[in-house]
Structure 1
Amino acid sequence: MNVRPHALLGTSALAAVRAQCESAVATWCRDWGVDASAFTVTCQRAWEQPAAPAWRGSLQSGAETMWLGWDNELRGALQRLLFPPDRQVGPHAGVAAMAAAGASAALDALAAVLGRALLDNEVPFAGDAADVSPALRQQASGAVLVEIRLERHACRCLLDYASVQRLAGSAAATAAPLAAVDLRDLLGGQPVRLAVTAGSANVGLGSLLSLAPGDVIRLDTLADEPLAVTGPDGATLLRGYLGTCQQQLALDIVAGDQSSGVAA
């Protein structure tokens, strides 16, 4: 049986994760001498994000995983922040290349700071393509998406539920397991429409158009073969023979038939 977390995550859990991320960004800003107010940090449940961003890679620490991704233009925005253009003095040869290299180093440092703060991981971030399980974007997966915005561009972090639990602490505490439920008692009164398949036949279009009362169409079911009873999803539940009961057609279930786990 496949199971997965069902964690709705309250605002206190999101706030705890956002605070950790804001602290990491503030540390990075101090190290690189930039104004922290240029950045905004938002935190939301991963399933509330309509589009999946392109991920650059992932970091792991034990059972926890964090994915990182950013816009292609984010590096240029960082370069403008770190090395604002001087309109009075044009750039000397090689200065633009040095600024671009500095922005790349700053972006790598930001990824490393986020890895240490959010995942407690000292492994340098490697920019390899990363696949994210679709289950993390399902309702109540427990995953959290953090966005660090600079101008119109963003660096994004996707944290799995194990990471969120550690960062949020008691704010992400899970509820007690639900008591066992007797599904037979719970669903026993629900009506289910069943279909009895008598058989099928292949008829040419010309023959179909020329059919008249009294003609006979032979089905692909033998007369002594039990008919299939199918559920709403089309799966065969039982088999039986046609008969009558109180002047209506009825089905005499074949004893011991368990086509789909339903005891007859």
Structure 2
Amino acid sequence: MEDSSLKPVFSIITPSYNMLGYLKRCCASVADQQSVTFEQMVIDAESDDGTIAWLRENKQIISVVEKDKGMYDAINKGLLLAKGEILSYLNCDEQYLPGTLNFVQEYFEKHPEIDILFGNMLLVRPDGSLIAYRKGFQPRWFYIISSHLYVFSCTMFFRKKIITDGFRFNNSLKAIGDHDFVVRLLRHGYRAVHARRYLAAFTMTGNNMGKSENATDERRLAMAANKWTRFLRYPLNIARIIEKIISGAYWEKMPLVYSVYDSTDSVKRREFRVQRASFRWPTE
């Protein structure tokens, strides 16, 4: 629910470039959130696939159309324009699940000491069918540095004060700016928590940036920059896996019911009921 007469509680930023089909689904998943006020922002790098015309038709979406230096530059532009008190970014190939923003708002209201919130996500195909359920657990910067970002950016919400304090995404990174951003926030002392609730769906398109060569190279460089990981990587990974097991990340009660916008419809969600599901990412 968006009400232009009220200051928005949320600012949701979507970086965009030539992904109109997925962008429509992403924006629809924000637009149908109930009982919250929000502003929806699309920062587009001059797409030539009809995105610009679509944004002009959908004036309820705040849009900025100009060249940028990459995804994280686009997100930073949105963060500087944001009026909401709770900020997030949602890529074109991602969607919020029903009730996500209402849950997040209530969580932050009940827990004023928390600065950052993460949740679980569903990994889906373009037709909306489930590939895997993915559960995060308590984010710890030393686990992330020694391995990977095991909490999910599409489920990340944070207070505006983080941006007011001067934190931004690193524009020089092309694929793991979220990894770098989260580590810096945690090391600075911001309080983060993981909620055991599915907040978003991530569509496996085949061209997702997190699995690109840039991402692999940047992770290697990040690990090399922290020389202590050479000695502590393996014990930290063992500790991380044990904590993940204890958190219940490898189990899910069935049936798993969810609804998303699929490849045939960006107007109405399609409901899925899954009796069996895996926790594994397809490459695992």
How high is the TM-score relative to the length of structure 2? 0.22
TM superposition score normalised by structure 1:
0.23
Larger Rg: 1
